[in-house]
Structure 1
Amino acid sequence: MSNDIAYPVFRSPDPVLALSMARRLMEFGRCEHADVSLYAEFHSVDEVRRGAKELPEGWFRGQEHDGEFDDRVPFEDRPAWLVGVRGPGLPTGPTAYEGRLPVEYESLNQAVDSVEDAFTAAIGPSVGEINWQNLFWPDAPEIGFRGESKHAEVTLLLNTSTRTYNEPAGDQTVLVHVRSADSDGRQLREPYAHWLAEQVGLTVIGPGQRL
């Protein structure tokens, strides 16, 4: 089993510009099987309501309280929105969100170019990401690398600089993913990430990130 590592190649406070740069890189590896998934964390009731209005077809899930349920409580006996509901199924009263924030959002395996603009416009100050997967990175024979598909991805991080969302930021970061292969602490495929970025006029601007 192999893992990926993602290198930042562009950063901007302008989400529309960052989306454009991410798409430029994505298009370089786009193939017929490519798709896109969206993730976000909404940290206030107002943010949740905006997300539900603008992104009603995604899945929203509130947080469970510590020890609230154990494995003997089946999912169907838990509040539906803690398991996952579409936007219209979210509670309307603000007290329902006490202890339930952040509300997580996801929309998986969507058609490329069908959801990215709406998501970028709707996310506001919340943290999240757009992840294009099932791409194909071509061979780079001049630097000795074969192409790859398993870890060929592009991610746009919104209002955060890390894939774990633990560092909120006032800008957006584009990441290019490659297969992780290290020797004595050195990433052997990092030059491939540099090469991929250079093909679309970008450059690696920081260390690789793992999940």
Structure 2
Amino acid sequence: MGNSKAYPVFRTDDAATAYAKARQLCALLWRREDRIWLFAELLTVEDVRRMVAVLPGVKFEYSEMRTGPAGEDLWFDLDVTTADDCALEPHLPLDIGGLDVPAGVEDRFVAALGRGMAAIDWHGSWPDDPEAGQYASPKYDGVQVVFHGDDPQWGSSAHDHTVFVHVGKFGDPCRARDLAAHIGGEVLGEPQLGW
């Protein structure tokens, strides 16, 4: 049990650059899972339409819990493929969250993003480096890029896009610095609660 330690290692106002840096870090993983995790906050009807084109059959959720007149929880159940824009608009913003999908959709996912917060998580293992006392931690290692955010837990939105390295349950600042250096970055603060 527990969470990884996530170190912010690169921040920019250009989403394409953040994504490219995250992909460079992914290439350093000794082993990478075949599946990725996606999150996106969809603020406009156009955002929803673009995301459906990338992820057909994706399940949308309200960004914040909504309740009905009797205090009951409401769940988003509108078919976005058949609903017109006027029917969809009152339901915004919507989220797709914690979506576990096969790798390979990342480029299209990034191209479909709007102004809402979004993230891609690649889980894997960093290579062992016994001389440096660094060992893989398959449950906790990986790379994450958060668009319009600076929190690996998808906290509050921000203008910039942030790349994180996840390095074990207890953290490893030396490994985080080494990984940051590979992409021309640096550790940008204290480790944060990861996945």
Give the TM-score category using the shorter length. Answer: 0.7 to 0.9
Please say if 1:80 is aligned against 2:77: yes
User: How high is the TM-score relative to the length of structure 2?
Assistant: 0.81
Q: Is the 8 A contact 2:38 2:120 kept in 1?
A: yes
State how 1:9-158 maps to structure 2 within 5 Å. 9-31=9-31, 33-62=33-62, 64-66=65-67, 68-69=71-72, 80-81=77-78, 88=81, 91-98=83-90, 100-106=91-97, 108-112=99-103, 114-133=104-123, 135-158=124-147
Q: How many residues align?
A: 191
Deviation at 1:88, TM superposition (A): 2.3
Greater Rg over alpha carbons, structure: 1
Q: Percent identity?
A: 31
Distance 1:199 1:14, change over 3 A: closer
Please say if 1:163 is aligned against 2:146: no
In the alignment, what sits opposite 1:195? 178
Deviation at 1:158, TM superposition (A): 0.6
Please say if 1:206 is aligned against 2:189: yes
Structure 1 CA distance, aligned partners of 2:53 and 2:34? 27
User: How high is the TM-score relative to the length of structure 1?
Assistant: 0.76
Structure 1 CA distance, aligned partners of 2:168 and 2:32? 21
The CA RMSD over aligned residues, in Å, is 2.7
Q: Deviations over 1:8-31 (max 9, x none)?
A: 111122211211110110111152
Deviation at 1:169, TM superposition (A): 2.3
Q: Deviations over 1:172-203 (max 9, x none)?
A: 1110002232xxxxx6x222322333345442
Deviation at 1:157, TM superposition (A): 0.5
Q: Is the 8 A contact 1:60 1:103 kept in 2?
A: yes
Q: Tell me, which stretches of 5 or more residues in structure 1 are unaligned?
A: 182-186
Q: Is the 8 A contact 2:43 2:94 kept in 1?
A: yes
In the alignment, what sits opposite 1:175? 164
Structure 2 CA distance, aligned partners of 1:196 and 1:163? 17
Which segment drifts farther, 8-17 or 26-35? 26-35
Q: Structure 1 stretches (4+) deviating beyond 4 angstroms?
A: none
The one-letter amino acid paired with 2:66 is H
Deviation at 1:54, TM superposition (A): 4.4
Distance 1:200 1:125, change over 3 A: closer
